[in-house]
Amino acid sequence: MNNKKSLLKALLIIIVIGLIGYFVYQSFLKKDSDSGVVKIGFLVPTLENPFFVDMTESAKNLENEKLKVFIQASQDELKQNQIIENFIAQGVDAICIVPINSESIIPAIIKANNANIPVINVDNKINLESAKNQGAVLATYIGSDNFEGGQSAGEYIAESINEQGKVAILEGVSGNDAAIKRKGGFEDVMKRYPNIQIVASQAADWNRQKAKDVFDAIMTANPDLDAVFAANDEMALGVIAAMKNKRIALDSIIVVGFDAADEAIKAVELGELNATIAQQPKLMGAEAVRLVLSIVKKESVKDSYSTPLKVIK
């Protein structure tokens, strides 16, 4: 029996070593001499969302012998900060951050500052006032102007419903900067049209399933709805799913999304979705890396850069 136990123990250790050996093999393949190589840590909230996949892939595509990009993702505030600590321990030359929360990331930025690692804020904006108060410094910002995007969506919807009717908004995660800006830009345009009424505005947390449920409720309360602005494509696709479930003609309600994800563009082509606002995540990811290279070369950069938006209809 004792033999059996030790056998199992040995087997176990072998399996663990084998698994890790696989990672060794992988990382030796990718191994490079450290000198003169610029290493970038790129932190995004999730790689389940095609938006961030596009962003990080375009950054990764710029990799060469002199440039390495490490991608990590987490939607948990604490884990995001820990990933940054790990990037610092790993000795990266710059960190690009898409924060999940515009406040809680600040202590981690301070740690990067202390290690003299420049931090580039991408997409979701870090709260600059808080950062300043706590002594955190950002090298630069790159992203699109979400407020402007919300405005484009508002103008498209106003035009499509002949400047009158009832509209609804599906918001992103409460308190999230992009969520606030997109909604703000949309409302800003709606104010200019006295005959358009916003009958509902609810958070569906960027989530398709949740948007479907929330929109179900909105439709029940407002059967005569004319248009809906979903602050991202996932939620817009949730809206369409809800309409299909209830067998409501897809052309009876104007649906506009945001992000121009592949699935949404296909839905626009099929005529299911009326329009989507295109941020350009690929451009953002690539620009972020180029900015890092400028910063590492000590070239001066502006405080903020914006990537353009367009309406896909």
Partner 1 sequence: MLKKIKKYNLLVMLLVLIIIFGIINPAFLQPSNLLNILTQNSIIGIVSLGMTIVIIIGGIDLSVGSIVAFCGLVLALLLTLNIPLIAALLITVVVGSFFGLINGVLIKKGKIPAFIVTLGLMSAIRGGGLLFSNSKSISIGGSELNSILNTKLFGVSFSALIFIVLSIGLWYLLKKTYWGKYIYAIGGNEKAARFNGIQVSKYSIIVYVISGLMCGIASILLVGSLNSAQPQAGQLYELTAIAAVVIGGASLAGGKGSIFGTFVGVLILGVIQNGLSILNVPSYYQYILVGFIIIVSVLIDKNYNTK
81 vs 307, which CB is nearer to partner 1?
Answer: 81
Helix (H, G, I), strand (E, B) or coil at 93: coil
Q: At what angle do helices 146-160 and 177-190 cross, to 10 degrees?
A: 40
Q: Does 133 bind partner 1 (CB under 8 A)?
A: yes
Stretch that binds partner 1, among 74-82, 160-168, 192-200, 216-224 (CB under 8 A): 74-82
Q: Within 10 A of 300 (CB to CB), how many other CB atoms are there? A: 6
User: Rounded to whole angstroms, how far apart are CA atoms 131 and 145?
Assistant: 20
Nearest to partner 1 of 72, 113 (CB atom): 72
Q: Which of 10, 17, 217, 221 binds partner 1 (CB under 8 A)?
A: 17
For the segment 175-214, give every residue that binds partner 1 (CB under 8 A): 175, 203
Identify the residue among 57, 62, 70, 282 touching partner 1 (CB under 8 A): 70
- Residue 309 has a CB neighbour count (10 Å cut-off) of 20
- Binding status of residue 89 toward partner 1 by CB under 8 A: yes
Handedness of CA 111, 112, 115, 116 (dihedral sign): negative
By the rule CB under 8 A, 103 interacts with partner 1 = yes
Residue 85 binding partner 1, by CB under 8 A = yes
Tell me which of 32, 76, 159, 269 binds partner 1, using CB under 8 A.
Answer: 76
Task: Look up residue 25 and give its DSSP letter.
Answer: H
Rounded to whole angstroms, what are the CA distances from 71 to 44, 52, 110? 8, 10, 20
Give yes or no for residue 83 binding partner 1 (CB under 8 A). Answer: yes
Q: Write down the H helix ranges in the chain.
A: 2-29, 50-60, 77-90, 106-114, 128-134, 146-160, 177-190, 208-221, 233-245, 262-270, 281-296
91 near partner 1, rule: CB under 8 A: yes
Residue 20 in the binding site for partner 1 (CB under 8 A):
yes
As a whole number of Å, the CA-based R_g of the chain is 23
Instruction: Kindly state whether residue 10 participates in binding partner 1, applying the rule CB under 8 A.
Output: no
82 binds partner 1 (CB under 8 A): yes
Residue carrying the six token digits 């909105």: 218
Binding residues (CB under 8 A) for partner 1: these are 1, 5, 8-9, 12-13, 15-17, 19-20, 23-24, 26-28, 47, 70-74, 76-78, 81-83, 85-86, 89-91, 101, 103-104, 106-107, 127, 130, 133-135, 174-175, 203
